[in-house]
């Protein structure tokens, strides 16, 4: 395992749409292992492959001590609303409030290509939504209710 450099806001790579993972092979496992290590090293709750420069639909999360890898995740159901502050390892120290669904259901594959379904509430739902956004080139600063605070700081 090795830590990888986290791509920072301003880099166009973060704005690109990631492609589905097709090969559940050693390259993917290495990527996932490195993403996990990079997330923990930076005290993150989640990390998406484009944040380490790889435009593939893979994310890792760790919410409330539950680690998970989600490959080709698709949010298939959502309900409710929840507003909390978020940050991002690609966005420096800024934290801002974002409205997210309170509860989501996501379909994804594990590192071997086996499909599974996960339902999460509150921070788990928030974290998955945030990371799935990264796969579509969307950052939380696009959605934050505190945009003026972010752009005012610059």
Shortest distance, position 89 Cβ to Ni ion, whole Å: 6
Enter the tokens of residue 22: 């097709």
Q: Closest CB to Ni ion among 118 and 138? A: 138
Stretch that binds Ni ion, among 10-18, 52-60, 87-95, 141-149 (CB under 5 A): 87-95
How many chain residues touch Ni ion (CB under 5 A)? Answer: 1
Enter the tokens of residue 147: 């945009």
Q: Closest CB to Ni ion among 109 and 126? A: 126
Shortest distance, position 110 Cβ to Ni ion, whole Å: 22
Enter the tokens of residue 18: 């990631």
Stretch that binds Ni ion, among 35-43, 81-89, 95-103, 142-150 (CB under 5 A): 81-89
Residue 79 · residue 101 · CB < 8 Å: yes
Q: Closest CB to Ni ion among 49 and 108? A: 49
In the bound state, the residue with its beta carbon closest to Ni ion is 88
Q: Closest CB to Ni ion among 60 and 88? A: 88
Residue 131 · residue 46 · CB < 8 Å: yes
- Collapsing DSSP to helix, strand or coil, 79 comes out as strand
Task: Decide if residue 125 touches Ni ion (CB under 5 A).
Answer: no
Enter the tokens of residue 27: 């390259």
DSSP secondary structure string for all residues of 132-144: HHHHTT--HHHH-
Among 14, 88, 98, 108, binds Ni ion (CB under 5 A): 88
Stretch that binds Ni ion, among 26-34, 83-91, 117-125, 146-154 (CB under 5 A): 83-91
Give the Cα separation of 45 and 151 in Å (integer). 24
Give the Cα separation of 147 and 135 in Å (integer). 21
Binding site for Ni ion (CB under 5 A): 88
């Amino acid at each position: 395992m090795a830590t990888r450099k986290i791509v920072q806001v301003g880099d166009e790579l973060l704005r690109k749409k990631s492609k589905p993972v097709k090969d559940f092979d050693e390259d993917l496992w290495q990527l996932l292992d490195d993403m996990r290590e990079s997330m923990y090293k930076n005290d993150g709750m989640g990390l998406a492959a484009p944040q380490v420069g790889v435009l593939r639909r893979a994310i890792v999360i760790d919410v409330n001590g539950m680690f998970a890898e989600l490959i080709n995740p698709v949010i298939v159901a959502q309900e409710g609303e929840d507003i909390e502050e978020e940050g991002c390892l690609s966005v420096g120290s800024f934290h801002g409030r974002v409205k997210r669904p309170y509860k989501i259901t996501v379909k994804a594959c594990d590192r071997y290509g086996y499909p599974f379904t996960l339902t999460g509430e509150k921070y788990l739902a928030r974290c998955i939504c945030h990371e799935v956004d990264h796969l579509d080139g969307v950052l939380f600063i696009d959605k934050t209710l505190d945009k003026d605070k972010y752009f005012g700081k610059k």
